[in-house]
């Protein structure tokens, strides 16, 4: 699962809980940030094999700290606590349910990975591996990613009062993510090394976080002037 994860970020963003979209963009990929970091450190292991599954080249044969069910729950609690602590310290407004929503957003990553991944997600440690393997079916997996993303964006646009200009930009951002997914799923490329692959993960995910930040700044000034 790749851009489908961001559907949860769009869907969780409401004016009521006050969580910025860029924070939710980090939350839904929190497990992959940990994974990419641990692979860079040589603690978790990855093989990049052309044609490993129809939709992905990643053979994540050892990632018990970032992607087991037990650690996914732990990381979700950790992320929720970090959000609460940072918000309290900086005095930013947040509802009581906001840390819980962060926790759910982080945990959603594991559920969506469970659908796409082959049997490489451990229940605990490196044992009892599960995964429904939708990545073995390239078109259905791609269709699911796009359907999820589109639903998330529709929810975002209906639940947030968005200036017209930002609406257009959000849809443009969605289309960019679709193009990225087309590239990832369908454009043939030679496999990078494991370290280069996870460096790419860090760079691209962070680029998307910055874009999510910028998107919500658009039209904000106009709003202040008119209100």
Where are the alpha helices (H) located in 41-97, listed in sequence order?
64-67, 69-90
**Spatial distance between the Cα atoms of 212 and 216, rounded to a whole number of angstroms:** 7
Please report how close the Cβ of residue 109 comes to Zn ion at its closest, in angstroms: 6
Per-residue binder mask for Zn ion (CB under 5 A), 3-32, x = binder: -----------------------------x
Work out whether 141 is an interface residue with Zn ion (CB under 5 A): no
DSSP element (H, E) containing 112:
helix 98-116
44 vs 113, which CB is nearer to Zn ion?
A: 113
Stretch 30-49: interaction string toward Zn ion, x if CB under 5 A: --x-----------------
Are the CB atoms for 13 and 24 separated by under 8 Å? yes
| Residue 156 to residue 123: CA distance in whole angstroms | 32
Least distance from C-beta 118 to Zn ion, angstroms?
13
State phi, psi for 7 to the nearest 5 degrees: -60, -40
Pick from 2, 1, 4: nearest CA to 150: 4
Cβ atoms of residues 89 and 73 within 8 Å: no
By CB under 5 A, what part of segment 88-117 binds Zn ion? 113
CB of 169 to Zn ion, least distance (A): 27
Tell me how far, at minimum, the Cβ of 80 lies from Zn ion, in Å.
18
Closest distance of CB 37 from Zn ion, Å? 13
Choice between 62 and 94, CB closer to Zn ion:
62
Locus of tokens 């069910």: 69
Chain positions contacting Zn ion, by CB under 5 A: 32, 113
């Amino acid at each position: 699962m790749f851009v489908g994860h961001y559907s949860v970020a769009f869907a969780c963003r409401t004016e009521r809980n006050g969580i910025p979209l860029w924070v939710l963009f980090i939350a839904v990929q929190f497990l992959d940030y940990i994974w990419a970091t641990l692979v860079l450190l040589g603690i978790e292991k990855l093989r990049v094999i052309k044609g490993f599954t129809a939709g992905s080249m990643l053979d994540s044969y050892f990632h018990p700290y970032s992607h087991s069910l037990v650690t996914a729950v732990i990381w979700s609690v950790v992320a929720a606590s970090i959000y609460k602590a940072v918000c309290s310290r900086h005095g930013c407004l947040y509802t009581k349910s906001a840390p819980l929503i962060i926790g759910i957003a982080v945990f959603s990553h594991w559920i969506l990975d469970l659908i796409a991944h082959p049997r490489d997600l451990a229940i605990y440690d490196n044992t009892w591996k599960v995964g429904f393997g939708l990545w073995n079916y390239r078109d259905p997996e791609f269709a699911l990613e796009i359907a999820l993303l589109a639903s998330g964006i529709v929810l975002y646009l209906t639940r947030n009062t968005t200036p017209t200009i930002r609406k257009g930009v959000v849809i443009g951002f969605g289309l960019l993510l679709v193009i990225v997914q087309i590239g990832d799923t369908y454009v043939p490329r030679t496999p990078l090394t494991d370290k280069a692959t996870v460096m790419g993960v860090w760079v691209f995910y962070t680029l998307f976080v910055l874009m999510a930040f910028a998107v919500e700044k658009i039209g904000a000034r106009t709003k202040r002037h008119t209100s």
